[in-house]
Amino acid sequence: LTGVPREQRAFQYLLAHAIPGDPRHVLQTLDQWSYYCEHLSCVGPVKGRIVERLVRERAPQRVLELGTYCGYGSVLLAQGLPVGARLYTVEPNPHHAAVAEKVIRLAGFDEQTVELIVGPSEEVIPRLRAQHGLAKADFVFMDHGKRCYLRDLQLLETHQLLAPGATVLADNVLFPGAPHFLQYAKTCGKYHCRVHRASLEY
């Protein structure tokens, strides 16, 4: 009714309640908004713990996130990175990217740590090396359009952007589902697959 998008309303709530420079508190405040005010399609705290654990175990130096949305996943990933590591996050929707940029900076991450790239993933991936300096990704988090998962994984392979032993973590592969991606990952012989069972966010 106000004409203000849901994502922008969530950011206004963040400004009023979150502690600037405290990524964990920024995430908790977004969780509060999504539980009690309006649903946001963020990773959420339950699946977030899986992401945190894997980032901690792998300690990646170069991380690629496909699907920034409001920046929840970016903050979640960035807070677990080792010193000197960098996150590249790709968002096709410029309105969502504008909110995400503010959320990421509010959480305390500068452009040297988190670079937000606006554009469709199929256009951004081929130019990641030349334009953004990403030679190889150690960790990829897919949380964008489920129909894009397989295409973008194969684009990463074609452009040799996956480091040896890289981890590819994809959200919601069972529901709403990315069956072609899942089938390819299980049968192509390039990956060891594991499905993490979790509830939908919020």
Burial profile 132-147: b = 16 or more Cβ within 10 angstroms, e = fewer = eebebbbbbbbbbbbe
Q: Is residue 53 part of a domain?
A: yes
Q: What is the mean pLDDT of the chain?
A: 96
Of 200 and 136, the one with more pLDDT: 136
**HEC sequence for 94-143:** HHHHHHHHHHHHHCCCCCCCEEEEECCHHHHHHHHHHHHCCCCEEEEEEC
Which domain, by its residues, includes 56? 43-188
Count of domains forming the chain? 1
For residue 70, give the CATH number of its domain.
Answer: 3.40.50.150
Q: What is the pLDDT of residues 87-121, one digit of tens each?
A: 999 999 999 999 999 999 999 999 999 999 999 99
pLDDT score, position 3: 86
Residue 40's nearest CA partner among 61, 17, 63, 71 is 71
Catalytic site includes residue 171 = yes
**pLDDT on residue 102:** 98
Q: Are 140 and 54 in contact (CB under 8 A)?
A: no
Q: What is the pTM of this model?
A: 0.96
Q: Which residue out of 115, 138, 143, 152 is catalytically annotated?
A: 143
Residue 27 lies in a domain: no
Tens digits of residue pLDDT in 30-46: 999 999 999 999 999 99
Domain-embedded: residue 69: yes
Establish whether 201 is a catalytic residue.
Answer: yes
Q: Is residue 33 one of the residues assigned to a domain?
A: no
146 included as an active-site residue:
yes
Whether 172 sits among the annotated catalytic residues: the reply is yes
